[in-house]
Amino acid sequence: MVKDEDGPLGPAETLLLIEQQRAKTIWWLGGDPLLMYTTWGVTWLLGFGALFLYLGYGALTQATALLVLFGFMSAAMAILVITRWRIGGSVRGDSADRSRMYGFAWGLGLACTIALSIRLSRLLPPPEVSLVWAATSMTVVAILYIMGGLLYQDQPMMRLGLWVAVLNVIGTVSGPAPHALIMSFGAGGGFIVAGIVLHRRRRLSG
């Protein structure tokens, strides 16, 4: 029986203590939402911002805009996978296996996106090519964020995945330039705000 200065803790208090220690451990391992969400927010704010400059104003070349977008996205994916891998590395058994499989899903999802986009790029005009690359990649991100929220019982992660999915649908229907603008400010700005708010809440509750 766990005890404190006033006597033994009951089952409810013991479970609460365990959950608090688990939350602190995850924080220490890299589960800080400021890292998890703000990284993606900055990625999309700048990456899709560059794509909008190409599509809306011709200020950048298509190659440069896509290089900026996918360069930032690759870095953000690496941070997410490493972070979740570290969290999964703190446990054994099924939880660790799920974390490894989730990490593989990100890599395979990106590979499928690249293969599909390369194939379709030969058949479409340049603005539509940019939309295919952007929309397919955001579809993978949205689905894996939703699945990650379910896998880790992380409600904010799942809701942000749903948010990205909705914005991606609206942007895709609207066209290449509107999609880039919506994803830059809607997804990018939304994730930055979410990361800051969730970070502050966790600090106050921790």
Region of poorest pLDDT, from 58-72, 161-175, 181-195: 58-72
Q: Give the tens place of pLDDT for each residue, 105-145.
A: 988 998 999 999 999 999 999 999 999 999 999 999 999 99
Q: Give the tens place of pLDDT for each residue, 27-70.
A: 444 467 888 889 999 999 999 999 999 999 999 999 999 899 98
Within 8 A by CB and 6+ apart from 60, the residues are 50, 53, 54, 68
pLDDT (0 to 100) of residue 2: 44
DSSP-assigned letters across all residues of 14-57: HHHHHHHHHHHHHHHHT--HHHHHHHHHHHHHHHHHHHHIIIII
How big is the CA angle at 184 (ends 132 and 202), to the nearest 5 degrees? Answer: 120
Contact 50, 62 (CB under 8 A): no
Region of poorest pLDDT, from 6-10, 68-72, 121-125, 179-183: 6-10
The tokens describing 120, both together, are 């379709």
pLDDT (0 to 100) of residue 159: 94
Q: What pTM did the predictor assign?
A: 0.80
Region of poorest pLDDT, from 14-23, 145-154, 170-179: 14-23
Q: Residue type for 57, please?
A: Y
Q: Write the CA distances from 75 to 44, 79, 80, 203, integer angstroms.
A: 12, 6, 9, 26
The H or E element that residue 7 is part of is: strand 7-8
pLDDT (0 to 100) of residue 60: 94
Confidence tier at 3 by pLDDT (50, 70, 90): very low
Question: Is residue 7 over pLDDT 90?
Answer: no
Stretch 86-95: mean pLDDT, rounded? Answer: 58
Place of tokens 């005890």: 3
